[in-house]
A and B are shown apart, each in its own frame.
Chain A
Amino acid sequence: MKSWLWLVPVLPLAGALANGVLLRDRLGKKAVAVLACGLVGLACLLSFAAIGSYLASPEYAAREPYEQVLYDWIPAGLLGIEGGVFRDFTVEMGFQLDPLSAVMLFVVTFVGFWIHVYSVGYMDHEPGFQRYFAYLNLFMGAMLLLVLGNNYLVMFVGWEGVGLCSYLLIGFYYDQEFPPYAGRKAFITNRVGDFGFVIGLFALVAHFGTLDYSEIVRAIEANPALVQAPYLLGLSVAGFIGLALFIGATGKSAQIPLHVWLPDAMAGPTPVSALIHAATMVTAGVYMVARSNAIYQLTSVSELVALVGAITAIFAATIAIAQDDIKKVLAYSTVSQLGYMFLAAGVGAYGVAVFHLMTHAFFKALLFLGSGSVIHAMGGEQDMRKMGGLKEHLPWTYRTFLIGTVAIAGIPPLAGFFSKDGILAAAFVDHKTLWAIGLVTAGLTACYMFRLLYMTFHGEFRGSSEQQHHLHESPAVMTVPLVVLAVGAVTSGWVGLPPLGEVDLHWLNHFLSPVIAQVGEHGEHHASVALELALMAISVLVAVAGILAARALWGKDRGLTAEDALAARFVGLRRLLANKYWVDELYDATVIRGTWASARGLFAFDSRFIDGVLVNGSRHLTVALSLLSGFFDKYFVDGLVNLTGLTMRLGSRSFRSLQTGAVSQYALVMALGVVILLGFYVAMRLGGWGL
């Protein structure tokens, strides 16, 4: 079955082609839904089969990836001569199945399929139903290209593809004012990161002469010292490439300083936020860093990755606690959790980073879909201040949402606990400060998530009576995906139980180990069992403390009284957090206004100097010069010519009368001439002058 791997990305792309182009406006809603969900479901089953057959294959036993090369995509020809041998640079269109892409494949297709199903219910009343599913399928195809590619360029195609779909889907409600703006913001912010990514790719080609994952890893494993040689900007080769790629990752995965687009991306439909801006696309950066672990293991740039991740985690968590928009809270929560993943990747725990990626995909998709169900019931209302007491009206949504909240808060035995604990334990080994930041973030996470839960589902209903009248549980097509994802949010953590002493229960780490390159020092120094247990206890205690704080402030039917009292007491802090540290305003004042100002300056330079002085000036100069040379031509050169002609005319006037053309006149002249000559002769003779 694994030879059918290529079909996995192709099926959703075919769906996008059918719904977006070929059968546009020709299908009913039901047919659109069946086509879109069916193809993604088929891709999902196919990918499970492919993973299954890979696990049973000799390649897996030999810790090798299964590669499927479709064709030579870019045969660019000669790259250079190395050791007397000509080296060609060729990029293949190829797919690769190894433990890392298998995990990603599983998450993307499984979560993606259930979000497709959920969308059928959520988008039922919306215009643009078919357009929505065309975009969503296109996204799935691009995301699968991203995770399945066997080289960086195929990944880059997927990377850009998901960026495009993200832009299209954020701006889905294009007739409103804000969504298109948010889409542009996301696209342009991502472009900044992509610039770094492309530089990284250039450096990879320049240094390794290939973009193929396996070849790069082989080259690094063969000679790790080579990539630690000094390169550019005072960095080593690995450092430069790592930094450039990480800039790409900060864009795609919304890390400081390029995190600003993700909260605004919530302008898109909620299932999109769940699929693209929580579960899959935004984790592409983490996937890419994990994929490039051979490079990051050999450079201190990974410290920067960890630091950025930790700071983003706590920064976004503090913002999340002061947001009133339900999706904004979840968006900042996503930014924060992505920070966790980068923290893990930065401290070298790539397996744990991917583990958190997976568990997060389940519970964050669940939370977003739950919030979508709430918004659906509230008739589009997203402000939590107008919600409250929804648990009676939305029992299934409440139950699943509660599971998701507990999972993200880090309470055992739900998924979030294991992955978050893994990250904190990995950070604790060498980075005590980052561990402390992560721990505080864990407490904040529990606190803001339970604040969300209390404000939304508990207490009195605070919306209008019309909204209250309209409250209803979502249809089964929406609640079933919630239940499925809730099961995932409970169980997905069990593949990565903490390693207690000698007994390695972390199946996922073990599974992913072939992907982690064997370079540099490799001390998997485990903490002792006692320390391990102590760390777990501390993180659980912090999470419980966060939950209790939330319960004290927002629980017990308190409504908003405690929050308002708190906000009144710390006006400055509240404003700081509610306004997201004014980062948007800062960027607006510096980058955006700076760009505008420089654009205006350049425009003025263009219109005044280039157009005014250079272009128009040279025009005036040319006109003046040509007038001058015109005068010279007309009066001097032409004058000379006319003078010649005049001289000739005057000179020849006297000869004209000689040639009349009348033959008889010529004959007369001739005869006269003869007579004269004859006369002269005769006279000479008669005069005695000889002759």
Chain B
Amino acid sequence: MPEVTTTHYLVLSALLFTIGVAGIVTRRNMITVLMSIELVLNSVNLNFIAFSYQLSDLGGQIFAIFTIAVAAGEAAVGLGILVAMFRLHESVELDRATELSG
């Protein structure tokens, strides 16, 4: 049974990050985009934990918990925007929300 090294974690994290970014860029449903953002954040958390474990430094784990807290706030704000947007447009398609265009 091969040992799980830091590198494995980093590769997994990179995969998760890439999947998340791809989801953000390609998906039009705002819920999916929020879920993809969650993926990106969690890939970062994975990095923090991995390096914390390797360096025996608890700072990385504390940072990860901070990130989870901020992510929760972000999700709340995002879902609030989502609800408001649904009221306005009767849809949560992102490409409908182009009010900020020049």
> A residues within 8 Å of B by Cβ?
652, 655-656, 658-664, 667-668, 671
Contact = CB atoms under 8 A, between A and B. Distances in A.
B102 A655 contact: yes
A662 B24 contact: no
Nearest to A657: B102
A671 B25 contact: yes
11 contacts: A655-B102, A656-B102, A661-B98, A661-B101, A662-B98, A663-B94, A664-B24, A664-B25, A664-B33, A667-B25, A671-B24
Contact of B97 (A652, A659, A663, A668): A663
Contacts of A658: 102
Contacts of B1: none
Given A662-B94, A662-B95, A667 B101 contact: no
Interface in B1-37: 21, 24-28, 33
Given A655-B102, A661-B97, A664-B25, 12 more contacts: A652-B102, A656-B102, A660-B98, A661-B99, A661-B102, A662-B101, A663-B97, A664-B27, A664-B33, A667-B25, A668-B25, A671-B24
Contacts of B98: 660-662
Contacts of A652: 102
A516 B25 CA distance: 124
Interface string B81-102: 0000000000000110111111
Contacts of B24: 664, 667, 671
Nearest to B22: A671
Interface residues of B, number: 15
Nearest to A662: B95
Interface string B33-52: 10000000000000000000
Contacts of A667: 21, 24-25
B102 A664 contact: no
Contacts of B27: 664
Given A664-B24, A664-B33, A659 B100 contact: yes
Interface of B: 21, 24-28, 33, 94-95, 97-102
Contacts of A671: 21, 24-25
A661 B25 contact: no
A661 B98 CA distance: 4
Given A664-B95, A667-B24, A671-B21, A659 B101 contact: yes
A6 B24 CA distance: 111
A661 B102 CA distance: 8
B101 A664 contact: no
Contacts of A664: 24-28, 33, 94-95
Contacts of B33: 663-664
B95 A659 contact: no
Contacts of A663: 33, 94, 97
A662 to B, nearest CB: 5
A504 B62 CA distance: 144
A83 B95 CA distance: 99
A656 B28 CA distance: 22
A317 B99 CA distance: 110
B26 A661 contact: no
A661 B24 CA distance: 15
A98 to B, nearest CB: 102
- For the complex of A and B, the 4 pairs showing the least CB-CB separation, nearest first, are A661-B98, A661-B101, A659-B102, A668-B25
A652 B101 CA distance: 13
A656 B98 CA distance: 13
B70 to A, nearest CB: 19
Nearest to B25: A668
Contacts of A655: 102
A658 B101 CA distance: 8
A569 B74 CA distance: 137
Contacts of B102: 652, 655-656, 658-659, 661
A623 B102 CA distance: 45
A320 to B, nearest CB: 109
Contacts of B99: 661
A390 B97 CA distance: 122
B49 to A, nearest CB: 22
